[in-house]
Amino acid sequence: MDDFSDLPFPDEVARAAATGPHSRSLGRLAELGAWLAACQGQAPPRPVARARVVVFAADHGIAARGVSARSPEATARLVEAALDGTGPTATLAAGAGATVRVVDVGVDSDGDGEFKVRRGSGSIDTEDALTADEASAAVRAGMAVADAEVDSGADLLVPAEFGVGSTTPASVLVAALTGAEPVAVVGRGSGIDDRAWMRKAAAVRDGLRRARGSVNDPLGLLATVGGADLAALAGFLAQAAKRRTPVLLDGLVVGAAALVAEELAPGARGWWKAAHRGAEPAHALLLEHLDLEPVLELGIQAGEGTGALTALPLLLQAARLAAETAAVAPVFDDVT
């Protein structure tokens, strides 16, 4: 695994320069603009020219335990819809002027893409999600995709996931890394009923018991109770920070991967902005642990990039506003 010990940090001088007296009345919009300035290393920040959504898709063996309102076959359908330009992810991305890439790292289908690690994962209540080699390969896949996107000109990355049952391993990761009890992290995910919630709670409890021995080993934790999508997301997030590229985080699954990425690459969180706080209890816990203040409060349970893509236009406007108000700062100060 690559060494993240020399991880760069956002430019605090640029952040301070972008946070002048003329920006105070703009509140959180000014904060967003200043964050982009710090990530870009210049004030005012450049408008975002190429926002890129990258969806990592994988199936989870735990879905067979009835922890989701969706059937396991739905993951492949989500991938097909995104590739066809339909579905919530593609619709919201088009509205925000972003393009979408879908990376199959573990869908239980016949497709065999460049970065596919395996078909599905083990059921984390009784077996490891991945082997050690598969976890390493998935992390490296995420790193390679981040490099490719930055090299192609992406100046803002929006990671997302497709995977039925993915909030269950994500909840286990959050509990393992924050010290929370299983009942404190189990939410309704895709809209499960009470019986499915109890099955999910039991799965999280059993997965957390298995995860205890790997808490101080990020790769081991991903292998034991993660999955190919979570591992790839962790590598993607860490490498994006290494490449000095800002990232807009989505919901629970991406956030859980961010917790692991911060373990792999301490300080990477400075390059991330939390788009929203969703309805999943584990999402609030991980945001607090990472000390990230969400842009929006949306009450969204679904992942798939929906929350981040809803916040994306606000971030794009903040960048434009930061540049414009900097150009007219004296006049702006006189008016306010």
User: Which residues does the annotation mark as catalytic?
Assistant: 304
Judged by DSSP in three states, 177 sits in helix
CA distance between the termini of the chain: 52
Sign of CA dihedral 316, 319, 320, 321: positive
C-alpha span between 55 and 267 (Å, rounded): 23
C-alpha span between 207 and 43 (Å, rounded): 46
C-alpha span between 186 and 204 (Å, rounded): 7
C-alpha span between 153 and 218 (Å, rounded): 30
CB 128 within 8 A of CB 215: no
C-alpha span between 138 and 264 (Å, rounded): 14
3-state SS of 285-302?
A: HHHHHHCCCCCEECCCCC
On the question of a cis peptide bond just before residue 44, with omega within 30 degrees of 0, the verdict is: yes
